[in-house]
Chains A and B, each alone.
Chain A
Amino acid sequence: MSSAPPPDAGSSVPAVEMHGISKRFGDVVAVDGVDLQIGDGEFFALLGPSGCGKTTTLRMIAGLDIPSEGRLAIFGEEVASWPPDRRPVNTVFQAYALFPHMTVAQNIAFGLQMRGIRGADADRQVAEATALVQLEGMEHRRPSQLSGGQQQRVALARALVNHPKVLLLDEPLGALDLKLRQEMQVELKALQREVGITFVFVTHDQEEALAMSDRVGVMSEGRLLQVGTPAEVYEHPANRFVADFIGRTNLLEGVTESSSAVRLDAGAVVAAANGLAAGSAAALSVRPEQVRLHRRGETPAGAPCLDGVITDATYLGHAFVYTVAIGPTAGASGTHASERAATITARSETGSAALAAGEPVSVSWSPEATTVVAD
């Protein structure tokens, strides 16, 4: 697991620090030994498929779930056993969880009231928070009279008005339609810069995580698999799951020959740096946009190259996506029985010449653009 240090910002004390945090519900291990440091002022995304433990991790930071094991500190204070109302964090819940019996202003004022802030001071802070999320004029509406996007803003204001040290967001954009979601991604990012609060963001949408966050933690089956900047996890996935989950990739199965070459099941030895012992099962991850297609025989020298046949060509407007069958079924002579067929997805800009299904091609990529991943 490559664990990049958090980018330095603000204080040197991490906003959130987890050591060996686990959470069990009966026999089910929801979170399994998570170690994580989130820096002050960071926009951190916890990314993973549903059921991977990311929401439970967030709930443990909020205090809504108490860890079964491990240490949890917020700005250096051990909070693992504190109730949620004592923690300097606030949450934007997945379905917003706005109080339906209160107006927008009452919802936003709730946290202030609970901390004994009332009167003119509270009114001023509520007005500020309302302005921050651009909800002026909606103060006296009920949540049920608002659109999804507006409800989302109320939830944000209700949390931010308390100036939490860490803001937790549980799939806050999940209930919005695509266009609004993309707008809110930009807005949330800008908002985080404006308020300078540490954001911990849970999402299953890898594009969202890559687009918004300073660092991403990828989770699967309760474990934190990799933590790094979006570029790090995209370009250098730590293992097969991360490679497959983040973006689209071609995973070419094979066995390492040496620390610099992999024998692919599809029947070629290609140069690929890896830190594995020779003879270990591994897969070569090649992103579709890194794959180059050539007419058979026009292959560039020096680059790993496989022969194949286009089986499908899809026009996407801005790009073509090709599926190329490689390996024994691709018609190459002298194949070994051990070689297995594979397909590669390639993506190319529409400007280049279109290729048709059935065309024999060669595929290549630059060795630096690939990562060897083990299980």
Chain B
Amino acid sequence: MPSLRRAKPAAAQSTDAGPDTPPSLTPAELAAQRRKRRTGTLIATPGALYLLIFFVVPLGLITVYSFATRTSTGRTSLSGWNLNSYERIADDVIGGIIARSAWLAFLTTVLCLVVAYPFAYYLATRPPRLRARLLVLVMIPFWTNGLVRIFAIRFLLGSNGPASALSEAMGFGTFRILFTPTAVVLGMVYGFLTFMVLPLYVALERMDWRLVEAARDLYASGAKAFWRVTVPLTRSGIVAGCVLVFVPSFGSYVVPEILGGAKTLLIGSYVARQFQAARNWPLGAALSVLVIVAMLVAVAINQRNSANAERTQGVTR
């Protein structure tokens, strides 16, 4: 960079630009700018192509299909465009599934927050070396196959599993939560806990603890300092964690399939069913679009939240 700058006066002289000419770019600078832009385009191309082929195109197809018609034989006809699939979303059955999915996702999010906040707090307040080790421990489940982990939970919660045996030994009778919404929520909390822990950890790790001391100095008890200072200042982490947990919980497919029973039909499974057994691609597509829109709203909330956090805290950090 410095060499470029030094080149400027020389270039300016060669084009006979006097000292009074307005600050415009010299040919050398323009060339450098063009080179930079070209390099940028080049390195972004592979990623952009990949996303275009495997994300944008399928997403477009889904959107198109959601306006298509299902023929009586279960084929998808692209000739008659209509909103029938979207109208069906308001249906009691589907509405119930959406409400149940949202409710379980909400429960999962709240549980994750309650479990993850103290843990992230603990993590963030350890000495740096211990912190790094504990973080690795948090990540380990991620390196294990998700399906294996969920089946392990199924074994754990099953009526022949250890949880049940323990409950029986303690005189509480057998343990029957597998294939219930409770099992689904437990499984999702486990599966998505890391998504809550990490943003909370980042927020708490950035936390300026002197502010808590200031609050304590200003007559706040430990609990009051926590609610009035720590929580508001880690709000960005809380919102990010909630979005990151709620979104996949809402559309979750694997966990409810394995741990949920017939009564716990959630939107993820329902969408899959439309594409497979029910052969109603337009409805499945419409529901997918709905889920995607819900996620986009959540992401937008998250973005606004982090922009706010930067605005209010940026300069004093």
Contact = CB atoms under 8 A, between A and B. Distances in A.
Contact of A101 (B214, B224, B232): B232
Nearest to B314: A144
Given A100-B211, A114-B221, 16 more contacts: A83-B221, A93-B214, A93-B217, A97-B208, A98-B316, A99-B211, A99-B215, A99-B229, A100-B316, A100-B317, A110-B215, A114-B215, A142-B312, A144-B312, A151-B316, A158-B218
A85 interface: yes
Interface string A81-123: 0011100011101010111110000000011001100000000
Given A97-B211, A99-B229, A100-B233, A83 B312 contact: no
For A62, A83, A89, A99, the residue with the greatest tally of chain B CB atoms inside 10 Å of its CB is A99
A85 B216 contact: yes
Interface of B: 208, 210-211, 213-222, 224, 228-229, 232-233, 235, 312-317
A328 interface: no
Contacts, number: 77
A91 B217 CA distance: 7
A99 B219 contact: no
A97 B210 contact: yes
A329 B39 CA distance: 67
A122 B53 CA distance: 62
A111 B219 contact: yes
Nearest to B232: A101
B213 to A, nearest CB: 5
B313 A144 contact: yes
B66 to A, nearest CB: 42
A255 to B, nearest CB: 49
A93 B218 contact: no
A228 interface: no
A115 B218 CA distance: 9
A64 interface: yes
Given A91-B217, A114-B219, A100 B312 contact: yes
Interface of A: 62-64, 83-85, 89-91, 93, 95, 97-101, 110-111, 114-115, 142-145, 151, 158-159, 162
B276 to A, nearest CB: 49
Contacts of B313: 100-101, 144
A110 B218 contact: yes
Contact of B316 (A62, A63, A143, A162): A143
B218 A162 contact: yes
B218 A101 contact: no
A361 to B, nearest CB: 50
Nearest to B216: A84
A110 B312 CA distance: 18
Nearest to A88: B219
A115 B214 contact: no
B232 A62 contact: no
B215 A62 contact: no
The 6 nearest A-B residue pairs measured at CB: A144-B315, A111-B218, A97-B214, A114-B219, A84-B216, A100-B313
13 contacts: A85-B216, A85-B219, A97-B213, A97-B214, A98-B316, A99-B211, A100-B211, A101-B232, A101-B233, A110-B220, A115-B219, A143-B316, A145-B315
A101 B233 CA distance: 7
A230 B190 CA distance: 64
Contact of B219 (A98, A142, A143, A162): A162
A152 to B, nearest CB: 13
Nearest to B315: A144
B49 to A, nearest CB: 42
Contacts of A142: 312
Given A95-B210, A114-B224, A101 B217 contact: no
Contacts of A64: 213, 216-217
Nearest to B208: A97
